[in-house]
Structure 1
Amino acid sequence: MRPGFRLPFRPLLLVLAVTAVLSVVASLAFGSEHIPLPEVVDAVTDRFTGQDPGRWDVIIWELRLPRALMALVVGAGLAVAGAGMQTLVRNPLADPYLLGISSGASVGATAAITTGALAGFGIYAVSTGALLGAVGSALLIWLIAMAQGGLTPLRLVLSGVVLSSGLSAIASLLVFLSDDARAANSVMFWMLGSVGGATWEKLAIPAVLVAVVIVGMLGVHRWLDALAAGPETAASLGINVAGMRTTLFVGLSVLVGVLVAVSGGVGFVGLIVPHAARLVVGARHRVVLPVAAVAGAVFLVWVDVLARMVVRPQEIPLGVVTGVLGAPLFLLLMGRGAYRFGGDR
């Protein structure tokens, strides 16, 4: 990619959107039981045309389609959360888990797995524990930052890194003290991420939340551009910097907490996809957010396909695949163009 080269926004977004739809349909063919693509298309169209369901109906509609849509939603949400977090702390290394939210979720999920806490929630016990841990860690970060003078980028980064280390140690201690020999494997698999437990019921809340956050951030895209340029620039344009930071922090914390609760800690998506979007369409949030959302969705759908297929019939965690694919892809993109973040090249 030539320095300064940009792809046209609308055609690119249209291509990505069509690719997302086709990717979801194509992903339904892959799994421990391979389904020919024409039969996948027939099973999908039969539902909409009212015809009798075929032999693959249950596998496609009750297992694979919720999973593919969950990957779509989580990928979009993590990409948008990563872009927002990088703007909030003005740090190109920021990702959705920077503030210790993922580590807090890990403590909650680990407690649910190793101690049987929240067993009354049944199949939602781990997700509930993860959500409670994520919300608790976000609240703790907010209280620490406010007690020390406010939500400044440096304070958020330092508090998040320190809290993340402490919470990770607590999660490790819970595994160490557990009498369940399988606890370590279960916790490790959850921490690296999976959408294998997706259901139609679990899909609704993250899908609505991701849509609300994207629309909300697009509604204030000019304020986000100003905030990314620096607090002095934002304040000179009449923006309430403290209020904007607080609102962004709360929205991203809730979003990441819900996404981690339903998918575990899927790494790399929220770090590399926003930067890749900036490389191809520029740094304005009006174009970065939708491109990052759809690109992240497509990326995670195919990551989930690979996770199912590489060692079939077993699955590997999504975080393993995103790391293996994401690192070289991002380095390749960075090496082919002139890239700036916050004025630094």
Structure 2
Amino acid sequence: MPVPRSTPPEAASRGAGRYAPSPSGDLHLGNIRTGVLAHLCARSTGRPFRWRVEDLDRVQEGAAERQRADLESLGVRIDPPVLVQSARTDRFAAHISALAAAGLTYECYCPRREIQAAPSAPHTPPGAYPGTCRDLDPSTREAARARLRENGREPAIRLRTEHEEVEVADDLLGPVRGVVDDFVLRRGDGVVAYNLAVVVDDGESGIDQVVRADDLASSAPRQAHLAGLLGFAVPRYVHVPLVLSPTGARLAKRDGAVTLRELTALGFDVWAWLGESCGFGPWDGMERALAEFDLARLDRRPVTFTPPEA
């Protein structure tokens, strides 16, 4: 069932780490910390480090370039090739078609509010799809398609699963387990869903180490399951702690001076904070960070950041 790869097999066989931000705006300090840690994890294990632009959804003009410039100014060295998701829609469509040909997909006509209000199946996580459209008869499906067409939309495409529990290995969290529901592969607006895009991009570019914030850990079992179906090796995961605002919520740009440019203008020592927040004491640049970094020593607790006053 796997479709032909668009990258040479020798490139995929070497393995690599990556950072894959969405270009919806400038990186805040939490994003920067995750990107730097992804680079350190890759380099400390002898892996190339790649960059991916996840621009299938919200895009702010110039954000992708600023994001990369910010991390490169901190000494992050990026190896080619750079993947841009919006240029790879044919690859995503090919994999969805392969899954459909194997009988592993079905159309879903449910509005999101109905899914959120419906009770989940036993043992599935909150918000898991209850299977409303899984086994509809042909006439019901056609009527549902017609209703969506009237509103200028199309059905979402879901993966047909057996709702089994999948376990993945995480180098910080240990085993991460989750029941895999019938998750979305392509949304009702025609945009490929994150879970499909990230698996195809990682698989076709030979990514075997995925470092990202730990609020995404719950998606790893779904992605590992899909990777197996598509013939890709499951990467090694490293879900690092979030950076929080003083309120305990995930740090965001609305919290104040949190971007690299804002913090630099205020004289804030970003490198010293990065080292201390990771449990190593202050760093003074990438060279020292690479010399001292040891994943086993990384502080596994969430980090609270109070933005400095202007």
Tell me if both proteins adopt one fold, taking TM over 0.5 as the criterion: no
Q: Which structure has greater strand proportion?
A: 2
Q: Which structure has greater helix proportion?
A: 1
